[in-house]
Amino acid sequence: MVEEEFEIVPVSPLRRLEKRIERLEAYSIEDPKSIFKDIIEIVRMNQQIVDELAKSNDALRIELSKLPGRLDELITDMKELIAFIKASGEAEQPGLNPEVMKPVVEKLDALVNLNKSFVERNEAMLELLDEVNKRLKRSPVGVGMPAQHIPPQPPQIQKPMMPMRPLPQQIKKL
Residue 92: which pLDDT band, with cuts at 50, 70 and 90?
A: low
pLDDT digits (tens, 9 = 90+) for 4-36: 776 777 788 888 888 887 877 776 566 767 777
The pTM of this model reads: 0.33
- What are the pLDDT digits (tens) for 130-154? 888 888 877 655 444 445 555 555 5
Q: At what angle do helices 32-90 and 11-26 cross, to 10 degrees?
A: 160
Q: Rounded mean pLDDT of the chain? A: 76
